[in-house]
Amino acid sequence: MISRCTFAVLFFVLGKHFLVNGLGCNWGTRATHPLPGNIVVKLMKDNGFNKVKLFEADPLALRALGRSGIQVMVGIPNDMLASLASSVSVAEEWVSRNVSYYISNRGVDIRYVAVGNEPFLKTYNNQFTRTAFPALQNVQAALIKAGLGRDVKVTIPLNADVYETDAGVPSGGDFRADIRDLMISIIKFLDNNGAPFMVNIYPFLSLYADSHFPIEYAFFDGTSSPVVDGSVTYTNVFDANYDTLVSALEKNGFPSMPIIIGEVGWPTDGDSNAKIEFARKFNQGLLNRISRGQGTPKRPSPPDIYIFSLIDEDAKSIEPGNFERHWGIFYYDGTIKYPLNLGNNRNLTAAKGVHYLARQWCIMAPDANTMDPNFPQSINFACTYADCTSLGYGSSCGGLDIKSNASYAFNMYYQTMNQQKGACDQFHGLSVITRIDPSPRASSCKYEIMIDTSRHEKDENPGTSSAGKMHNSLVFLAFFVILEFSSLLFLIL
C-alpha cells in the first residue's frame, strides 16, 4: 500500500487467550469531510482499540489523543525524508514540535515514530533510497537528545517487496538484491536501538495484481493448492509472505528481530474483488487467528498487526487503484460496514454524535436528456472534484444506468461542496435537488450525505465563530484537486 489510515489489530485478552499489547488502529485523515478527532478517539475507545498509527503528525488528531490512554505511532511522510536526512537540527526541530511537545504539553502517549512510508517501493525508482536511512538515524539522534530514546522507538514501514524468494518458497527468502546492503544496515541500526522491523502485507494486492492468483489462498480457510516448503505446508499467502521475511532476517543474522505488521486488510469497494463479504471474511479470519494466539510456522506467536484501515478516506490518491479510498472497517462517518466479532462477545460499535448536512441530494433532473451536449462534461466535472470511485466496474455502484450514474456523480460533488447554494446548479440545467433518497433499492450503492463539519467545529470550539475558520473539507479539497485532477477525470456511461 502507498498511502494510509490503518486499523491495527494487536493482541489483547480475547476469550480465554491472553494476547499482548491490545487492539489498535491506523487512522488516516485524507478525507474531504473528516470525522472530528474527539469522535474518532471515542470510536476507538468504544471498540477497545488502545493503539493507533498516524501517517503524519496531524495536530487535530494528536490533540484529540491527548490523555486518552491510547498509545500512538506518529508517521513522517516520504516527502519530508530529504530535509530530515540533510541535518540533525531539522530532525531535532521536528521531534521537538511533533513528539516532545505533545508528550509534555498534551499528554499524548507516543511510543513510535514511523520514518517514511514504504520508501523502497520499486515504483518509486529509488527516489527515497538515499534519504530514508539518514533520516531514520537523525530522528533517532533527535529523540535521544530530547531524552526520549528509551521510550520512543523509530522504525521504517516497508512494503513486502523489499524481500523475495528465488526458490518460490518462504525458506528461500532474502532481501532484494538492489537494496540488500542498505536493508542490512537499517536492520542493524534498528536492532542496536531496540526497535522493530515493520512491514506491510496485502493479500488483496496479490489477487489484484494477478488474475490467476488462487483466491482461497488469500484467506485463512485453507486451499486446494497449498505451497509446500520442505516439511511445512502453507495454506495462505499471509503466512507464506511473513515467513519469507523471517527467513530473510535469519539468513542475514537476525533470527529474533521483532516484527510489526504495519498494514494488512481488505477494501470494500473500487474493484470487483473489493467486496464487503471478502473484507469481512479476511478480517474476521485474522481476528480469529489472533484470538487463538496463532502465528506462522516460523513464528508460532502472532506478531503485532495493524489492519488497514479504520475509516474510509475519500481524498486519498487512487494511483494504486480505486479501492484505495475504501479500506475502512467503518465508513467515512464512522458507521459500521460489516459485523466483526472481536472476541469475548464484543462486536463493533459505530461512532456517536456525528452531525450531517441537510437530508437532501442533487440528482439528474427527470426531464434532462443524456444526449444533451453538456452531459459528458458535467459528469467529468463532478468526478474531477468529488469521489466517483464507487462507479467503477465491479464497484458498489457499477451497475447503475446512465442517469443514475450522473445522479451519483452530481450528488457527490454537491455533498463535497457542503451542499452550498449553487453547487447543484453547476451542471448546465441537468440537475435538481431532491429530498427523497435516490439510493437504489436492493443495492449496496448509497447516495451519501456528508458530515456537517461546521457543526462539529462549534461543538469542539464553542467560543469560536465558524465564519472565521476555513472548513476542514475545503482544506482537504484543495489537496484532493491537485492530487487527483488527472486520475479522476473519467466518464462512466
Check if the beta carbon of residue 26 is closer than 8 Å to that of residue 5: yes
My answer on whether 126 and 179 are in the same domain is yes
Helix (H, G, I), strand (E, B) or coil at 364: strand
Does residue 166 lie within any of the structural domains? yes
Beta strands (DSSP E) in 153-293 are 153-155, 157-159, 163-165, 173-175, 197-200, 227-229, 232-234, 259-265
Q: Does an H or E element contain 113, and which?
A: strand 109-115
Domain end: 314, 347, 380, which one?
A: 347
Total domains, the chain: 2
State pLDDT tens for residues 383-400.
999 999 999 999 999 999
Q: Which domain holds residue 186?
A: 7-347
My answer on whether 334 and 379 are in the same domain is no
My answer on whether 30 and 151 are in the same domain is yes
Check if the beta carbon of residue 453 is closer than 8 Å to that of residue 473: yes
Q: Which residues pair with 307 in a beta bridge?
A: 7, 264
Does residue 43 lie within any of the structural domains? yes
Task: Identify the CA nearest to 484 among candidates 416, 393, 403, 397.
Answer: 416
Give residues with Cβ within 8 angstroms of 155, minimum separation 6: 112, 113, 114, 115, 190, 195, 196, 197, 198, 260
My answer on whether 47 and 106 are in the same domain is yes
Greatest Cα pair distance, the chain, in angstroms, is 71
Check if the beta carbon of residue 274 is closer than 8 Å to that of residue 266: yes
Q: Which of 56, 92, 263, 324 is catalytic?
A: 263
My answer on whether 331 and 399 are in the same domain is no
User: Cα torsion at 237, 243, 249, 252 (round to 10°)?
Assistant: -100
Q: How far lies 394's CA from each of 144, 248, 317, in Å?
A: 50, 37, 19
For the chain, the straight-line distance linking the first and the last C-alpha, in angstroms and rounded, comes to 29
Distance CA 222, CA 224 (A): 7
Domain end: 347, 369, 400, which one?
A: 347
My answer on whether 313 and 367 are in the same domain is no
My answer on whether 299 and 368 are in the same domain is no
Distance CA 326, CA 167 (A): 35
Domain end: 347, 371, 400, which one?
A: 347
Q: How far lies 149's CA from each of 2, 112, 192, 202, 353, in Å?
A: 28, 10, 12, 31, 39
Q: Is 277 a residue of the active site?
A: no
Does residue 301 lie within any of the structural domains? yes
Q: Provide the CATH number for the domain around residue 139.
A: 3.20.20.80
Does residue 117 lie within any of the structural domains? yes
Q: What is the pLDDT of residue 459?
A: 63
All three cell numbers of 68, joined, read: 486518552
Q: Is 250 a residue of the active site?
A: no
HSE at residue 462, side-chain half, CA atoms within 13 A, is 1
All three cell numbers of 151, joined, read: 521510550
HSE at residue 271, side-chain half, CA atoms within 13 A, is 22
Q: Which of 56, 118, 313, 324 is catalytic?
A: 118
Distance CA 255, CA 191 (A): 11
Q: What is the pLDDT of residue 304?
A: 87
Does residue 442 lie within any of the structural domains? yes
Q: Which residues of the chain have pLDDT under 50?
A: 1-21, 462-493
All three cell numbers of 451, joined, read: 458530515
Length of the chain equals: 493
My answer on whether 321 and 387 are in the same domain is no
Q: How many helices (H) and strands (E) does the chain have?
A: 14, 18
Task: Identify the CA nearest to 29 among candidates 487, 489, 475.
Answer: 475
Does residue 110 lie within any of the structural domains? yes
Check if the beta carbon of residue 362 is closer than 8 Å to that of residue 413: yes
Does residue 240 lie within any of the structural domains? yes
Q: What is the pLDDT of residue 8?
A: 43
Model confidence, pTM: 0.89
My answer on whether 42 and 94 are in the same domain is yes
My answer on whether 300 and 247 are in the same domain is yes
My answer on whether 254 and 394 are in the same domain is no
Does residue 490 lie within any of the structural domains? no
My answer on whether 57 and 142 are in the same domain is yes
Q: What is the pLDDT of residue 461?
A: 59
